[in-house]
Amino acid sequence: MADHWHLRGIDWLATLPPASAEAVRRGSETRVYGPGEAIFSPTHHPAHVHLLVEGLVRLLRVSASGQELTLGYVRPGELFGAVSVMTGGARESFAEAKTRARVLRIPKVIFLETVRANNSVLYEVTRRVGQRLIRCQSRVEDLVFRDVRSRLARMLIELASEYGHETDRGLAVGLPLTQEEMATLIGTTRQSVNTLLREMDIAGLLQRRGRELLITDLSRLRALIGTPRPPSAQV
């Protein structure tokens, strides 16, 4: 299992009884990271689980040749780096601060004791991991069966639904991603992302303001996603 199965959309401390939450805070330490600073890297024996207090964190993997694959983003209140601690496996991913980030570093023993003592928390952890597994399966399907244009359209819609907000001009995607970061999310090159974003801009599907992206025609952008090609078409 990979640590990008973080607990999306849950304020983990808020699920605990007050006494347990206070015990976690007392036994943990808070660290502040600047943009681009590493929070953790791969290790055979992870010693901490992390809770994002404020900011935004990027989860990624890096190949032996230095290529990056963005696995997802963590928002305040969410745990990350928990699955390897729960399973006893090695941690294979990196986490870096996308913006200035304040992180609670929870020692492994405290995290495991807390989960074991609170069945409702264990249930929520399991449910969120299952949801993340489904999302990962969808991403694998995209990489195998969809072309780059479809993958980009789907990624923009998903990011807007999770991080974005409505404006008077359209739906803001919500994350100030570079084209390189978008490329690592969908398994392509920065040049391909640049070309496709320019085409979508000209076609009136979205507007670009620096790193800010605004979806101006959601229905037409959805139409680009289409349906996955069947395996017989992959020749």
Strand partners, 30: 104
pLDDT value of residue 211: 74
Q: What share of the chain is helix, strand, coil (3-state, %, to 5)?
A: 45, 25, 30
- C-alpha distances in Å from residue 115, one per residue of 20, 41, 69, 122, 125: 10, 24, 30, 6, 9
Q: Is the CB of residue 131 less than 8 Å from the CB of residue 8? A: yes
Q: Is the CB of residue 177 less than 8 Å from the CB of residue 190? A: no
Averaged pLDDT, 53-73: 85
Residue-range domains of the chain with CATH: 12-142 (2.60.120.10), 146-233 (1.10.10.10)
Task: Tell me if the pTM is above 0.85.
Answer: no
pLDDT value of residue 10: 52
pLDDT value of residue 7: 42
pLDDT value of residue 185: 86
Confidence of residue 146 (pLDDT cuts 50, 70, 90): confident
- Of 24-33, 155-164, 219-228, give the lowest mean pLDDT range: 219-228
Averaged pLDDT, 149-167: 88
pLDDT tens-digit map of 92-129: 889 999 999 999 999 999 998 888 887 666 656 666 66
Amino acid occupying residue 145? F
